[in-house]
Structure 1
């Protein structure tokens, strides 16, 4: 049985379930960090949510790349 997460799906409101768990180290050394991925139990709903987040991430990356290209002129 999969454990239930403490959060609900942002789209359908169902209680999310844990899908993966892995341990990593900060910068390859030091403190161990445990990552747990929680997903919606409805796979079709999760696909829609993943696509929504992918689009949001692309828009954010595009905005950040535009910021880097801006040159501010110095006042004389």
Structure 2
């Protein structure tokens, strides 16, 4: 399976492969997930914190 290069939303560097895993759905389909991260660990921490903040805001809006 060929991977598509993506860039970090914060610094613009090419993201690197972190991990891959498979998940089987109830209907038997297999979904392959691939996680990429910024090569700069400090930048990645900031991006993760920003995403967590966005998730919390979405959860509050759902209530």
TM over 0.5: yes
SS at match of 2:15: strand
Consecutive unaligned residues of structure 1, counting only runs of 5 or more, are: 66-76
SS at match of 2:6: strand
| Consecutive aligned runs of 4 or more in structure 1 exceeding 6 Å deviation | none
Q: Given the alignment of the two structures, is residue 14 of structure 1 paired with residue 10 of structure 2, yes or no?
A: no
Normalising to structure 2: TM-score of the pair?
Answer: 0.89
Q: Given the alignment of the two structures, is residue 56 of structure 1 paired with residue 23 of structure 2, yes or no?
A: no
| Structure with the higher strand share, 1 or 2 | 1
Structure 1: how far apart are the matches of 2:4 and 2:43? Answer: 16
The Cα RMSD (Å) is: 1.4
Consecutive unaligned residues of structure 2, counting only runs of 5 or more, are: none
Structure 2: how far apart are the matches of 1:45 and 1:5? Answer: 21
Query: Which has more radius of gyration?
Result: 1
- Deviation, 1:31, is 1.1
Residues 12, 45 of structure 1: 8 Å contact kept: yes
